[in-house]
A and B are shown apart, each in its own frame.
Chain A
Amino acid sequence: SQTIHQWPATLVQPVGSPLSLECTVEGTSNPNLYWYRQAAGRGLQLLFYSVGIGQISSEVPQNLSASRPQDRQFILSSKKLLLSDSGFYLCAYSPARAQETQYFGPGTRLLVL
């Protein structure tokens, strides 16, 4: 079966500190991978998506970057966090055989102080 993991579950970071959030997928090969951000009480904003190793597309200009060092690993990073980076970060994947269907991970809640 396919599963998606995210860690950490919760993170409190000071302004100006670096960030690294990790997402891994099991049980499927060559998935499409996505990073979303959800502000409190708001909808889903697509930040990055990837169709393969090293292939990253950015949806919005921002303080964040993404990398895909392995087929089933997706990393969200920042060199210096801003207060506005606080939010709920969700990773999602879609299987190669059903690329329209996205499955979400449990999310990481980030609070920048």
Chain B
Amino acid sequence: GENVEQHPSTLSVQEGDSAVIKCTYSDSASNYFPWYKQELGKGPQLIIDIRSNVGEKKDQRIAVTLNKTAKHFSLHITETQPEDSAVYFCAASSPRRGDYKLSFGAGTTVTVRA
């Protein structure tokens, strides 16, 4: 089945700097890659997603890039703010499975220092 690895597990950045989280996936047929942000005590919130027919997608201060050849995708957060502190999860979905289940990375705890 699909295996998603996420790095780093923790990330501390100075306010205003950029943060980058990387994920690799194993199934070359995977074609949908969402990113979730989970604040303490809350459910994960979908913040951005990308499909395999697109190399990059941007939404204000966040962007996601996809390299299908290398089978990895990354989340970029620019001009980080204290409210960006949270746990971020990447995920991948493969049509090879015949369903729409997501395989999640283990998560990255991002701390933005004021």
Query: Is there an interface contact between B89 and A44, defined as CB atoms closer than 8 Å?
Result: yes
How distant is A105 from chain B, measured CB to nearest CB, in Å?
Answer: 5
Chain B CB count within 10 A is highest, among A34, A44, A49, A101, for: A44
A10 nearest in chain B by CB position? B41
Docked CA distance A34–B91 (Å): 15
A88-112 CB mask vs B (1 if < 8 Å, else 0) is 0010101000011111111101000
Contact A94 B36 (CB under 8 A): no
Is the CB–CB distance between B107 and A43 below 8 Å? yes
Chain A's interface size range is 20 to 34
Report the Cα distance A53→B34, complex, angstroms: 27
Q: Contact check: which of B41, B45, B93, B104 meets A43 at CB < 8 Å?
A: B104
Q: Are B89's CB and A104's CB within 8 A?
A: no
A104 touching B106 in the complex, CB below 8 Å, given contacts A44-B89, A49-B101: no
Q: What is the number of contacts between chain A and chain B, taking CB atoms within 8 Å?
A: 47
State whether A101 touches B107 (Cβ < 8 A): no
Residue from the list A32, A92, A103, A107 in contact with B42, Cβ < 8 A: A107
Asked if A46 CB lies within 8 Å of chain B CBs, one says yes
Question: Which 9 pairs of residues, A with B, have the shortest CB-CB distance?
Answer: A104-B43, A99-B100, A100-B32, A107-B43, A43-B106, A104-B44, A100-B93, A44-B104, A100-B100
CB pairs A–B below 8 angstroms (24 shown) = A6-B43, A34-B101, A42-B106, A43-B105, A43-B106, A43-B107, A46-B101, A49-B99, A49-B101, A51-B99, A90-B43, A92-B43, A94-B100, A100-B32, A100-B93, A100-B100, A101-B32, A101-B34, A102-B34, A104-B36, A104-B43, A104-B46, A106-B43, A107-B42
Besides A102-B46, A102-B102, A107-B43, 12 other A-B contacts (C-beta < 8 A) = A42-B106, A42-B107, A44-B89, A46-B101, A49-B101, A100-B32, A100-B34, A100-B100, A101-B32, A102-B34, A103-B46, A106-B43
A interface with B by C-beta (< 8 Å): 6, 32, 34, 42-44, 46, 49, 51, 90, 92, 94, 99-107, 109
